[in-house]
Amino acid sequence: MAERHVVRLTVNGESVERLVEPRKTLADFLRQDVELTGTHLGCEHGVCGACTVLLDGDPVRSCLLFAVQADGARVGTVEGLAHDGLHPIQEAFHDHFALQCGYCTPGMLMTVHDLLQRSPSPTREEIRKALAGNICRCTGYHAIVDAVEAAAARLRAAPPREAAR
Amino acid sequence: MATSGTRPRAVGRPVKRVEDGRLLAGQGRFVDDLHLPRMVHAAFVRSPHAHARVRHVSVSRALALPGVVAVLTADEAARLCHPWRGILTDYVGMKTALQYPLALDKVRYVGEPVVAVAAADRYVAEDACDLVEVEYETLPAVVDPEAAMRPGTPLIHEELGDNVIYRGGFDKGEVDQAFARAHRVYRDRFVVGRQTCVALEPRSLVAAYEPREGSLSVWISSQVPHMMQAIFARILGLPEQKIRVVAPDVGGSFGLKIHCYSDDVAACLLAMRLGRPVKWIADRLESFATDIHCREHLVDVEAAVSADGTVLGLRSRAITGVGPWSCYPRSSVVEGNQVIRLLTGPYRIRNYKAELNVVAQNKALMSQYRAVGHPIASMVMESMLDRAARDLQLDPVEIRRRNLVRRDELPYTTAFGYVFESGSYLESLELALDKGGYARWREEQARGRREGRHLGIGLSCFIELTAPGSFYGSGGAPISAQDSATVRVEPGGTVTALIGVTNQGQGAHTAFAQIIADQLGVSVEDVNVMSGDTALVPYGGGTSGSRGAVLGAGASILACRAVAEKVRRIAGHLLEAAPDDVELRDGKVSVRGAPDRSLTLADIGFRVYYQSDKLPRDLEPSLEATAHYTPARPITWANGVHMVVVEVDVETGLVKILRYVTVEDCGPMINPALVAEQVRGAVVQGIGSTLYEHVVYDAEGQLLTRTLMDYLVPGAAEMPDIEVHHLETPSPFTLGGFKGIAEAGTAGAPGAILNAVNDALAPFGVRLTRQPITPDLIRSALRQAPALNRDGRR
Ligand code: FES
Ligand code: FES
């Protein structure tokens, strides 16, 4: 077994320090070592987007990063989106039937969170483009696009106190 | 449908999903989220060859790796369990070999598990797999389904004598006379590529064995926990009462997680041998190589058509390539059978002869995926209708109007023998044309053609076989035809429901909560629905064949009626009224016409559970009932119509969907939003089938599509908005009149899209009969089109 390294980072605002093998992915680290299982694995090769988390505020595929690469970083996961209750994006997903099995949902939410930070009033076309890297096998996307439009409107009206970032 | 005295308040409304909160917060409980003490992780050594003899296996180096706790070889696995065989006895003459957890003498497809390893974590388990040495002697692979049938082709299972798993067919009406009478006969060959399900959550399992009790608990991403309990009992030699199967949150399934997979059995054997929990999660490569595949059909069809466009008769001959074994326990012959049986669709075609060959190949096993057979049957029929319409200079709408079964012809018996008891075939078509703006799009198309834009309009009119009853049980498979519900009023007056139907994202818990809320006169929030655990819920068949809503609702209604009857009897005693005069409404139990004489369900709960000694001896102290339900007919038919408009870029071969409109008739809707989302999700899978998804093997049987970069599934950017309209024609034969809906979108999309693309390409003299319709396929067809060589359009 390879030598382990200390990784120190913040996850959803909390400091975390663990000893990990250099080959351990950030996704496995978050799920197994930090025990935040909301980040999902759908492909482990960077295509499906289920594992999307925020690294220093930018969306990344946690299956394509090693935990040691996140040393010193700020990681945001779906568990950190809302302090309590649901974030307006999560609420909009609920209101618009934008999830079925919920497996893609954490990655979708993180991608949408990033989109709406950068672009507060996206068109349907822009939303669809922004979601191009997140596969949902259940919904057919229409409802997700509806939810993102609604979330954008809600956030423009009343931006929440941000938790994850 | 409501119990007397309650008005339906939740059913029929787009009630928001009760499942969402946890899932949105990242608090789902999928199998891979489960961690048990002393749990180890399984990985598999898999065949790199499509067909080879296993000469020698050496596991000593793997065993020596620190962290490895067990290595299971094929011989040992075979000794530890009973093999299984995917036969349904009502398919007379079908044959297939026994299946074992790990490849014994030969490997028969790329990815077949050969050795299983358990280790401290998945990383180490995979390291150990690399240290297992397997010597193979490669054999010629059987890949092409037509070639598989030819004499002299290598045999996949020598003991079976040939590679044909099943031969079937039927000859109904007077087919030869119909063809003799025909004004025109059209012949085509349709080629449908292999696909796979791609549930985003891969197949996942945790197995834990308690040797002192002889009990096995399996948490598995599955649609069918009771079926898994039954097959684990048979294969592992344990009695059913010692096996608990739990399907927690399931990340999509679509027919994927409904079969016996050899690696699942091997993982259970590891857990039993070790007495430690074993986790086994497929990665995406393993999913592509070993999840069931689907489709792969060749369909030769001939249609006899009169001068006015009436389809007089049909002949079809289908060949389906299903991999080395017929899948257990649902078999691999159902899809091919559905293709031939459903081919006549909602059309009045009395004379029909069909033949089916199901053949073995050196590819992954093939079995049922969403809409089983329907998409192919529908695509073939719809394409033949468009061809006839074009040739006879009829509008595609007109030829459909002339052939669709009319309401006044119901009940209608198809040539094969299916009975349509209720439906809205013509009405659905007219609504789709109206909502879709068919006439306007025809004008737009003509305008486009003048401007060099190639628009096409496609229609498909389809039926959907839903809520099948004893579909598999009649062939001997341990698959429940009934379904069940236990409904309990808790002491505090709220309701717990345990349902045999499972949930893989459909929103089943919401739908059943709506039904139960109305039946008992409580609010949806006061009902908690649970499912997916054989130790918790009454015996059920899970989901398949769009059965969940119909059977789950039926069982829930029956259980609620029984509970309401108990409530009425006890309330009648307490309120000194006749039970028949007691009604349940708004959480209250009151005497009809005397609302001041009322109790809450909590009052009754308190009395029944905590003061039952004060009840008369002839009143059972119970507010709970379990009911089991099978619909009155073996099949409930839903129907619908899709209209799609595409634009084809003749330079790149890309197809863009400009408009997608569906009309669905699944009877009364429990929750129209859930119905719409089932339709949308299913349509997008149908679009994927038609335009993108293709499992590709090379001539040696090597799997080429191994990642989501090679196997394309629809993404948000390419998908259109999908407009969903509803008609609600109740079934006379199900409780509530409900029909299934989960597969309709997938059934209808391929025919509509193929027709739209062909409509766009018609000026070039191009007509495609192949799926998926890739840009390459379109470009090469255009290159070969005579018209294009002259001036680029005709
Ligand atoms: S799991 Fe990381 S992109 Fe699919
Ligand atoms: S909701 Fe199931 S994959 Fe998106």
- pLDDT of B213 reads 96
CB A90 less than 6 A from any atom of ligand 2? no
Report the CATH architecture of B482-629: 2-Layer Sandwich (3.30)
Confidence check: pLDDT of B790 > 50: no
Closest approach of A96 to chain B, Cα-based (Å): 8
- Beta-bridged to residue A54, according to DSSP, are A59, A76
Q: How far is CA A106 from CA A42, A47, A134, B25, in A?
A: 12, 15, 10, 8
Confidence check: pLDDT of A165 > 60: no
Confidence check: pLDDT of B793 > 90: no
Confidence check: pLDDT of B792 > 60: no
- pLDDT of A1 reads 55
Of A30, A40, A51, which is best to mutate to test ligand 1, by the most ligand atoms within 8 angstroms of its C-beta? A51
Q: Is the ipTM of this structure higher than 0.95?
A: yes
Among A148-152, B4-8, B680-684, the minimum mean pLDDT is found in B4-8
CA dihedral B291, B292, B294, B298 (to 10 degrees): 110
Closest approach of B611 to chain A, Cα-based (Å): 39
Confidence check: pLDDT of A87 > 60: yes
Asked if B507 reaches chain A (Cβ–Cβ under 8 Å), the answer is yes
Q: Please indicate, yes or no, whether the overall pTM of this predicted structure exceeds 0.90.
A: yes
Picking from B508, B259, B464, B469, the residue whose alpha carbon sits closest to that of residue B368 is: B259
Between CA B40 and CA B554 the distance in angstroms is 42
| H or E segment and range at residue B127 | helix B122-131
Between CA B137 and CA B472 the distance in angstroms is 38
Query: Which B residues 726-785 touch A at CB under 8 Å?
Result: 745
Cis peptide before B411 (omega within 30 of 0): yes
Minimal Cβ distance to B715: which of A43, A94, A132: A132
Give the Å distance between the CA of B507 and the centre of ligand 1: 25
Which tokens sit at A29?
């680290």
- pLDDT of B8 reads 59
Give the three-class secondary structure for B110: coil
Give the dihedral sign, CA A116/A121/A126/A131. Answer: positive
- pLDDT of B586 reads 87
pLDDT digits (tens, 9 = 90+) for B129-144: 999 999 999 999 999 9
Query: Which A residues 7-26 touch B at CB under 8 Å?
Result: 21, 23-24
DSSP character at residue A42: S
Give the Å distance between the CA of B376 and the centre of ligand 1: 32
Backbone angles phi, psi at B529, to 5 degrees: -105, 135
Closest approach of A90 to chain B, Cα-based (Å): 6
Between CA B764 and CA B55 the distance in angstroms is 55
CB-CB contact of A54 with A75 (8 Å): yes
CB atoms within 10 A of CB B60: 10
Picking from B244, B356, B230, B345, the residue whose alpha carbon sits closest to that of residue B298 is: B356
Asked if A132 reaches chain B (Cβ–Cβ under 8 Å), the answer is yes
* Cβ contact A140–B199 (<8 Å): no
CB A99 less than 6 A from any atom of ligand 2? yes
Closest approach of B305 to chain A, Cα-based (Å): 37
- CA angle A38/A44/A47 to nearest 5° reads 95
* Chosen from A4, A101, A144 to mutate, greatest number of chain B CBs within 10 A: A101
Give the Å distance between the CA of B250 and the centre of ligand 2: 10
Residue type (1 letter), A37: T
- pLDDT of B470 reads 76
* Cβ contact B124–A1 (<8 Å): yes
CB atoms within 10 A of CB B80: 19
Minimal Cβ distance to B251: which of A101, A132, A142: A101
Q: Can you give the length of chain A in residues?
A: 165
- For the segment B699-713, the average pLDDT, to the nearest whole number, is 98
Q: What DSSP assignment string belongs to B438-495?
A: HHHHHHHHHHHHHTT-EEEEEEEEEEEEES-SSTTGGGT----SSEEEEEEE-TTS-E
Confidence check: pLDDT of B451 > 90: yes
Between CA B510 and CA B19 the distance in angstroms is 7
Between CA A155 and CA A133 the distance in angstroms is 23
Between CA A64 and CA B504 the distance in angstroms is 27
Between CA B147 and CA B155 the distance in angstroms is 11
Nearest CA in chain A to B23: A102
- For the segment B212-227, the average pLDDT, to the nearest whole number, is 98
Higher-pLDDT residue of A84 and B250 is B250
> Which domains does chain A show, CATH number per domain?
5-79 (3.10.20.30), 88-157 (1.10.150.120)
Ligand nearest to the CA of B30: 2
- pLDDT of B339 reads 98
State in Å, rounded, how far the first CA of chain B is from the last one.
58
pLDDT digits (tens, 9 = 90+) for B182-197: 999 999 999 999 999 9
- The residues of chain B that CATH labels 3.30.365.10 are 418-467+634-794, 482-629
Sort out which chain B residues have CB atoms less than 8 A from A40's CB and list them: 30, 200-201, 251
CB-CB contact of B500 with B485 (8 Å): yes
Scanning the structure block, which residue is given the tokens 């358990």?
A: B118
Asked if B251 reaches chain A (Cβ–Cβ under 8 Å), the answer is yes
pLDDT digits (tens, 9 = 90+) for A101-131: 999 999 999 999 999 999 999 999 999 999 9
DSSP character at residue B116: E
> Quick one: pLDDT band at residue B785, thresholds 50, 70, 90?
confident
State in Å, rounded, how far the first CA of chain A is from the last one.
33
pLDDT digits (tens, 9 = 90+) for B481-538: 999 999 999 999 999 999 999 999 999 999 999 999 999 999 999 999 999 999 999 9
Scanning the structure block, which residue is given the tokens 């790796």?
A: B65
Asked if A122 reaches chain B (Cβ–Cβ under 8 Å), the answer is no
Closest atom of ligand 2 to A101 CA is 2
> Quick one: pLDDT band at residue A83, thresholds 50, 70, 90?
confident
Sequence-separated (6 or more) residues with CB below 8 Å from residue A144 = A93, A96, A98, A99, A108, A131, A136, B716
Give the Å distance between the CA of B481 and the centre of ligand 2: 28
Sort out which chain B residues have CB atoms less than 8 A from A127's CB and list them: 716
- For the segment B345-351, the average pLDDT, to the nearest whole number, is 98
CB A103 less than 6 A from any atom of ligand 2? yes
- pLDDT of B304 reads 98
- pLDDT of B5 reads 44
CB A137 less than 6 A from any atom of ligand 2? yes
- pLDDT of A160 reads 77
- For the segment B688-706, the average pLDDT, to the nearest whole number, is 98
pLDDT digits (tens, 9 = 90+) for A16-33: 999 999 999 999 999 999
Which tokens sit at A79?
């568990």
Atom 4 of ligand 2 has which residue's CA nearest to it? Answer: A136
Give the Å distance between the CA of B27 and the centre of ligand 2: 15
Backbone angles phi, psi at B31, to 5 degrees: -55, -40
Q: What DSSP assignment string belongs to B552-592?
A: HHHHHHHHHHHHHHHHHHHHHHHHTS-GGGEEEETTEEEET
CB A42 less than 6 A from any atom of ligand 1? yes
Sequence-separated (6 or more) residues with CB below 8 Å from residue B779 = B652, B653
Confidence check: pLDDT of B177 > 60: yes
CB A48 less than 6 A from any atom of ligand 1? yes
- Beta-bridged to residue B358, according to DSSP, are B166, B320
Rg of chain B, C-alpha, whole Å: 28
> Quick one: pLDDT band at residue B7, thresholds 50, 70, 90?
low
Confidence check: pLDDT of B734 > 90: yes
Sort out which chain A residues have CB atoms less than 8 A from B705's CB and list them: none
The CATH class for the domain spanning B418-467+634-794 reads alpha beta
Between CA B455 and CA B760 the distance in angstroms is 5
Of B24, B200, B713, which is best to mutate to test ligand 2, by the most ligand atoms within 8 angstroms of its C-beta? B200
